[in-house]
Amino acid sequence: MSTTMLTGSESQRQFVLSLGDKPRAYPTWNIFGDLITPIITGRETAGGLVILEAVIPAKGGPPLHVHHREDEAFYVVEGRFLYECGSQRAEGGPGTYVFLPRDIPHCFQNIGEKTGKMITICQPAGAELFFEEVSRIPGPPDPAKIGPVSQKWGMELLGPPMAMR
């Protein structure tokens, strides 16, 4: 990743250019089968936002949860997903864009037969720190272990993934 510092009134911000033919600057985190790779983080955006690539296996997806600090948006690149935001549900394939405001319970599931891929944007940044910490929790998903990490980063676990309901 190439980073150029700006001068003058923009000296606290960075111009970031990451060419697609270069290796990724960040590791991929395995979050209980979902593969999350940061594209750009709060480190490069002065905490403004984080952009992640999410590779989700068939029937995969997170538990029902809520973010208290950030809004979240998804852009489907491959596959078919079902989204739940509050009491509303919608599904879509490539080209689908979903905006999920903070403080509203939500989750999603890859309802396709193959692995799916999304670009996830969280604003402000910080969700990447949650994913990094959760990726270090050994064993199968355990709400007793994930819950305190969620709370630390302004999130709450509210229920099981869609596949288990």
Q: What is the pLDDT of residues 41-58, one digit of tens each?
A: 999 899 999 999 999 999
pLDDT at res. 101: 94
Instruction: Report the share of the chain in percent with pLDDT over 90.
Output: 77
Confidence band, pLDDT 50/70/90 cuts, at residue 5: very low
Residues forming a β-bridge with 117: 55, 78
Among 14-18, 21-25, 79-83, where is mean pLDDT lowest?
Answer: 14-18
Q: 12-16, 63-67, 90-94, 148-152: which has the minimum mean pLDDT?
A: 12-16
Residue 102 CB partners (closer than 8 Å, separation 6+):
66, 67, 68, 69, 70, 71, 72
Could you give the domains of the chain? 27-164 (2.60.120.10)
